[in-house]
Amino acid sequence: MKASTKFCVILALVLGVHMLDAHTKANTESKAPVSEEYLEDNKAWPGMFFSSENVVEEYEYDDAYVLLYDDADANMFNVEIVVDLETYQLCMQSHKTGKHIVGTLVLNDDYSYDGVEVFTFMEEPEFEMADASANI
């Protein structure tokens, strides 16, 4: 055997053993626990899908307009969402007429205070189309 062939065989063996050792160590090292927390877990957030069909109750509390929202698809159960007067009235009107509104909620910094987030309803054509196709 030539010296260069012997060298290549030894080099291949050494690299193979090294890669096998690295792969084995990578698989046995402990990994950090993965926490499955989502933004939508039982609280409102800006940009979320919103439908007045999921509003269970509307009420006023300490000069705030509150919607009790219940949407199992978003993992939201009895969530109190503080909204501005216009959104509150839109939801009330929606319940009276039976025609629900679909869109998104936007954080309203002008009305938010002392850690209380106040949201405003905005029409979102993408959400309206998705809702229309889901209800066909």
Contact assessment for residue 69 and residue 54, using Cβ atoms and an 8 Å cutoff? yes
> H or E stretch including 131?
helix 125-134
> Lowest mean pLDDT: which of 7-11, 30-34, 89-93, 111-115?
30-34
Bridge partners, residue 57, by sequence: 68
pLDDT at 40 over 50: no
What is the pLDDT, as a whole number, of residue 5? 78
* pLDDT tens column, 97-120: 998 899 999 999 999 988 899 999
Q: How far is CA 121 from the centre of its chain?
A: 17
pTM of this structure? 0.66
Residues 6+ apart with CB under 8 A from 102: 49, 50, 51, 52, 53, 124, 127, 128, 131
Q: What is the DSSP letter of 72?
A: G
What is the pLDDT, as a whole number, of residue 80? 94
* pLDDT tens column, 48-101: 989 999 999 999 988 899 999 998 888 889 999 999 999 999 999 999 999 889
Torsion angle of C-alpha atoms 126, 130, 133, 136, degrees rounded to 10:
-120
What one-character-per-residue DSSP string does 6-70 give? HHHHHHHHHHHHHHHHHHHHHHHS--PPPP---TTTTS--TT-EEEGGGEEEEEEETTEEEEEEE
